[in-house]
Amino acid sequence: MKSKKAIKLSENALRLEQTIRGCFNSNIPTEEDISKMASDLRHIPAFSVENEEYDQIIKRLHESLTIYMELGSCVEDNSDPWLSARKSEIDPFYWGRYKTDLLRQGWPHKVVDSLDKVTDEILDRVGDPFNESGWSKRGMVMGDVQSGKTSNYTGLICKAADSGYKLVILLTGTLESLRRQTQERLDSGFVGLESAGIVNRTLQRRLVGVGLINPDKGAGVFTSTMSDFKETTANQLGFKLKNYSEPVLLVVKKNKKVLENLTNWLITYNANNAGKINLPLLLIDDEADNASVNTNPKKATAINSSIRNLLKVFPRSSYIGFTATPFANVFINPETTSDMLGDDLFPRDFIYTLDAPTNYFGASKIFGDKADPKHLISINDAEHIFGEISKDDNTTTSDIAKLKNDSIVSEIPKSLITAVQCFLLVNAIMDLRNNSQKHRSMLVNVSHYTNIQNQIADILDGVLRRMQEDIRHYSMLEDIDSQKNSTMSDLHHLFETEYLSSGTTWAEIKSVLASSSLPVQLCTVNQKSGSASLDYSLYKENGLRTIAVGGNSLARGITLEGLCVSYFYRRTQMYDALLQMGRWFGYRKGYEDLFRIWISDASSDWYSYISVASDELRDSIRQMQNSRLKPVDVGLRIRAHPEALLITARNKMRDSEVITGSINLNNELKEATRLSSESDVLLGNYVKTEQLAQELVDSCTEKRVDASCPLWKSIPKEIVVDFLDSYSSHPLDTRFPSAIIARFLKNSKDSILDNWDIAFPNGELDSEDLVQGLPTKALRRKVTLDSESRSYLVGGNKRRLGDASHEKIGLSEPVIKIAEDNFRNKPENKEKKSVPGKAYRQERQKPLLLLYLLKPEDKDNNNYVELPDKCKFMVAVALVFPALKNGGENFTYRINLVELRNLIPNEIDNVDDEDVDEEELYA
């Protein structure tokens, strides 16, 4: 069924919509509440609207009024709250006009109210600016990629200014394009004036954003959209911080020279005889995991040292790192706890996790179990060009053809051309929809080498221009003639494949195709292309329509406005790199149904896994908040998180020659989903499983069939320990370090671990004897080869061996019913269709060892696994732990970095291929 095309709303309609919004600004209404109020008001002449307008208003109200945002979670140490006691003294000027601006932009009332509360919570945990005794605060705020962190810290800056902070320094990433974009947003949300007109007195001062709401006061600013901090500019302005009545803002790149110049200027013109400045400083570090983290165990890195030196100038300072990927920040000196609490940037005082609004499109909505598959399109024709696995008949799957910086790119895959055509179609559809996003962007990210990016951009630019010429000449012809052109024919086919339900017709698309497509232009975004390569501010009137080709420069903080289409083909398994590259996360109001992502199956699988891992991390922090743990405990726990060694780049984990971490087994399910691809290891694990099965058949009498699978009850712990000791897990499978778990079990004094249940879950295949007297049914599972790490990844997107039903194995029917009733009785679970495995796990009184006998899928030759001779099955293992009496155990494991570097893919995705001097680029 086609959706109705948006129409331009009348004054009456806008008045009706705004009135209803105001009536529901403190609670979340039902659809019936909204419809009843709209129907009643519609009879009043001032709110009288036509049926078409009325339907559209109801739809818009349903979408916006049901959006909300939770308050997030926080773990802290030595909290000293002060804000509530000073509320009556604070004039909320800056916050008040920013709040008004957000509501005028159409932010849902519930989200703005939550933002108000969250920024209060964060402000209350930094230093009181009226406290004259020295204080130094270190905190971190975690958000989702593209989820609105900028709005959060803009609100925080406004409140800090209202409460008495005199200097705010905002550190952006390492690129001028990001610093410029951030400066523009702070001009609009905090300063109220275009910074260029303040810093450059030859330019006219112009009110923007909040300044148009109330221009009575405005913050000072020493940086602008035109330039980063320069000592000469600051001196020309003639200001000293202590003489300035309003707070001062500086938006600064993380650049060694810039930070040193700023610190020297502050000391020279504003410090006392002791070289200190007795004014409260709020330093916000955006993208705090990028460049700020000290990656050198012997000497602080340049940016890290510069930030710490700047903070030392102020006896009263609050440092808050904002990031969507905090993993590197808590890897600071993992060997010892005391170093983490020292003078480095570890968030020793608090870690606050933000919850995204309910309309946020994050990893779970795009890659999770319930994601809409229409958003994702597989790339299956790019390997021979962009350097995955060679297609040459004479090579094997272990032959990797990687692009290098000096490689020659002479063609682009058809899938990339199709993605560009999709972007042109989306522009046409959005033009046909009123109130659509003004700026439109497409992302192309296939390599971290700037030379490769530039070659691809050149080829793609030629392709785009030929398409535009074809559209100019053929789009207005009758279909019978226009379809003779290959571009028009391809566009028509793509429209019918992807957008028949968009509420538009092909005839309507053709009528606007030229006007919507011809403005599209291509740009490269990297260090060599300079700061002006992507500047939306130059296109405020009509909007910028751009195809942005880049790599890591696109993956750090830069917002691609109106991102509709993404083409992503990268080979990395680092959590932070992948999440930051996901510029498609965010908000897609008005075109949620249109956006598409071209992505490789391997990357899609990793994003699916990361979405689960990130959710688990947030759940873990919520639990830590309830347990009143401290930030240092969070740091230790994150380093213990499943596959922790893959969460960030190697150069952020090189504090020592070894990595330490810990795993909590309390009430946990542990599955071995990364298996060695070495034939001798596969055969060895199979033989060990045969031996265990034979031992169970021969000597254990308490065997019964449970849920149609072989099960043994009350098996001594020693048998399980011996098996885990001999089972070879993959070195990178830190979710399942079998030998270390075995050592932990051996040393544990917890009596609940003394006796185990052991089961062989049955699958869908024909019965086959593992050993005589033990018929089993193997499971069919998707198995993908990861040749670089010499491993098989089991379970596809979910990376799961079994399902929730397997966690019922060994439990009696009454216990199963108790588990299901306890789960269903919780209000938040009333509408959930299935009971998760964790619900059964919580009722378990005995640990469970699950032995999975797998037959890899062979439908796809790329995933075919040929098992060694005499090896009937691929064996994977899962452990289900009950609640441990001592609250759980952490243990330490050590992995040699030499081995680690041989196993982790070579690409380090958080740095560009060349170390460019940005002072030369952006001076």
- What pLDDT is attached to residue 334? 35
User: Do the domain assignments include residue 109?
Assistant: yes
Same domain, 547 and 677: no
Cβ contact 517:471 at 8 Å: yes
What are the start-end ranges of the H helices in 66-175? Answer: 83-86, 93-104, 109-123, 149-163
Shared domain for 481 and 429, answered yes or no, is yes
> What range defines the domain where residue 680 resides?
663-891
The whole-angstrom separation of Cα 727 and Cα 745 is: 15
The one-letter amino acid at 685: N
Of the residues 322, 353, 384, the one at which a domain ends: 353
Looking at the structure, do residues 576 and 719 belong to the same domain, yes or no? no
Q: Are residues 331 and 422 in the same domain?
A: no
Mark whether 97 and 28 lie in a shared domain: no
Q: Examine residue 593 and state whether it is found in any structural domain, yes or no.
A: yes
Find out whether 259 and 267 touch, Cβ atoms under 8 Å: no
Tell me, what CATH number does 262's domain have? 3.40.50.300
Is residue 172 a part of any domain in this protein?
yes
Query: What pLDDT is recorded for position 572?
Result: 64
C-alpha 60/C-alpha 306 separation (Å) is 48
Residue 921, pLDDT score = 28
Q: What is the pLDDT of residue 913?
A: 33
**Residues 342-364 as b or e (16 or more Cβ within 10 Å = b):** eebbbbbbbbbbbbbbebbbbbb
Query: Do residues 495 and 518 make contact, with C-beta atoms less than 8 angstroms apart?
Result: no
Judgement on whether residues 667 and 591 belong to the same structural domain of the protein: no
The Cα 259–Cα 268 span in angstroms is 14
621 in a domain, yes or no?
A: no
C-alpha distances in Å from residue 168, one per residue of 163, 307, 558: 12, 14, 21
Tell whether 61 and 160 lie within a shared domain: no
Does residue 265 share a domain with residue 160?
Answer: yes
Judge if 699 and 554 occupy the same domain.
no
Task: Assess whether 349 and 386 both reside in one domain.
Answer: no
Q: Which amino acid is at 922?
A: Y
Q: DSSP characters for 314-333?
A: -SEEEEEEEES-TTTGGGSS
The contacts found for 705-710 with CB under 8 angstroms, 24 or more apart, are: 706/759, 706/809, 706/810, 707/805, 707/808, 707/809, 708/762, 709/759, 709/760, 709/761, 709/762, 709/809, 710/759, 710/760, 710/774, 710/776
The pLDDT of residue 143 is: 82
915 within some domain:
no
* Residue 278 CA: distances (Å) to CA of 131, 248, 317, 365: 11, 15, 10, 47
Q: How many domains does the chain have?
A: 4
* Nearest CA among 878, 857, 879 for reference residue 866: 857
CA dist 786 → 344, 398, 445, 602 (Å): 37, 9, 21, 9
Q: Do residues 26 and 109 both lie within one domain?
A: no
Position 368 in a domain: no
The answer to whether residue 219 sits within a structural domain is yes
Contact at 8 Å (CB) between 603 and 449?
no
Domain for residue 641, yes or no?
Answer: no
C-alpha–C-alpha distance, residues 190 and 153, integer Å:
10
My answer on whether 43 and 88 are in the same domain is: no
C-alpha distance from residue 573 to each of 674, 731, 828 (Å): 13, 15, 34
Profile the chain (923 residues) by mean pLDDT over runs of 10 residues: 55 85 70 83 88 80 71 84 95 96 85 92 95 91 80 96 96 84 94 87 84 92 89 74 88 93 91 93 89 69 89 95 71 44 74 82 77 88 68 32 75 96 96 82 90 93 97 95 96 96 94 96 82 75 91 74 90 64 76 90 77 69 71 56 45 44 76 87 93 86 62 92 88 73 84 93 86 87 77 77 89 92 84 85 93 76 71 92 68 44 41 32 28
